[in-house]
A = this chain, B = another copy of it.
Amino acid sequence: MTLFTAPTDHVPDPTLAHRRADELVTVLAPDGTPLADTDVVVAQTAHAFGFGCIGFELVDHANDRSSDATYDNDFANRWLDVFNIATLPFYWGTFEPEEGAPRTEEMLAAARWFADRGVSVKGHPLVWHTVQPRWLLGRAPEEVERLQRERIRRDVGGFAGLVDTWDAINEAVIMPVFTAEDNAITPLARLKGRVEMIRLAVEEARATNPDVTLLLNDFDMSTAYECLVEAVLEAGIRIDRLGLQSHMHQGYWGEEKTLRILDRFARYGIPIHFTETTLLSGEIMPAHVVDLNDWQVESWPSTPEGEERQADEVERHYRTLLSHPAVEVVNYWGLGDRGMWLGAPGGLLRADGSPKPAYDRLRSLVKGEWWHAPTTLRTDDAGQVRVGGFLGDYEVRLPDGATGSFALTEPGEQATRVRLAG
């Protein structure tokens, strides 16, 4: 009787039991026999949950043209210590500022840099109405559509294998009625309608890379985005993940609002990415500002009180998001204050690169409370140990150096076997 009923009821669980397994692991010696009564060191090596962040600031570093190597080195280390998904900038206007000369090579280098460090990469975004190339202005809608389609095929194809997740389209809700900035996409969206713009993005991307994971991404948490999601589903367009932005420049949403939004958007049965999260460690932007871009200030400092508040809010926000089973990824929108959007103190590091309390707080969750640090366990006479931990990748190591790896993939009581080697 319904198109939208979620297959399961999503009841938020602050204990995060839905993200943990209690795994009975049978450790086998290289010869395949159970390794009974032996001390083994079990350690988590990766999170299944996506702790993401934009990697914009590391593009230069990855291309060996850092303008501040010390800052960038520390920044990179702190980035890699917490995050496992990078969002890279594919804004058409900055990616291809001159027609026919896309910055493919440097972005490939950046994507490889992350991939080499075990970080998966998302491209952001394939279609949007701002940060547009100047050279696109004044072209006829038919040509804009053709060029937009070609650009999707070129970039989704050119980065396949390195970037297989894309924000297919950004802020489609406002796209046809956007007036703040002259651009060539809004007139096209007005002609085609939102749904056909989404179809365009999705069909070109999938035709180029059938294994691609595609997101709708929007800041509009109102019923408008719900209606658009319904429109997309009714149109038979498959969206893999639903992206919800949460730039909280006007103050932390709080648990209640966040869960209400999750409850509304989770009912479409599409896993949710919190794609763009910002929490400030300084003054909050006044509530009367509608387009955040309108808030232009001379200086927007990070303050001691603000940093304490931010740390608490980061912890509360991540705990709330992880408590909801529909959430798969949380992307923080900028590790450092340096160069941040609107000059806002939304980073987890100060402009000098030093960690704010929020950085330590988030790290203490991701690599502390939610992380299985190397722990010595003793196998029983059947070679079994119980490993309780967050879903993700694990390794078992013997003092002699023999190792094996396994993964916790399903929550609750599970069983697996791992055969050591080396």
List residues of A whose CB falls within 8 A of some B CB.
1-5, 141-142, 145, 173-174, 176-177, 190-196, 220, 222-228, 230-231, 233-235, 264, 267
Contacts and interface: CB of A to CB of B under 8 A. Distances in A.
Nearest to A234: B235
B226 A192 contact: no
A193 B223 contact: no
Contacts of A196: 2-3
Contact of A5 (B142, B191, B234): B191
Given A230-B231, A234-B234, A234-B235, A3 B224 contact: no
Given A227-B173, A227-B227, A142 B193 contact: no
A193 B173 CA distance: 18
A141 B1 CA distance: 10
Contacts of A5: 191
A234 B232 CA distance: 8
B177 A142 contact: no
B230 A4 contact: no
A195 B227 CA distance: 8
Nearest to A228: B227
Contact of A192 (B1, B192, B235): B1
A176 to B, nearest CB: 8
Which 5 pairs show the lowest CB-CB distances between chains A and B? A231-B231, A224-B224, A227-B227, A234-B235, A227-B228
A230 B176 CA distance: 12
Nearest to A173: B223
Contacts of A220: 223
11 contacts: A2-B191, A173-B227, A177-B226, A193-B230, A195-B231, A223-B224, A224-B227, A227-B227, A228-B230, A231-B231, A231-B234
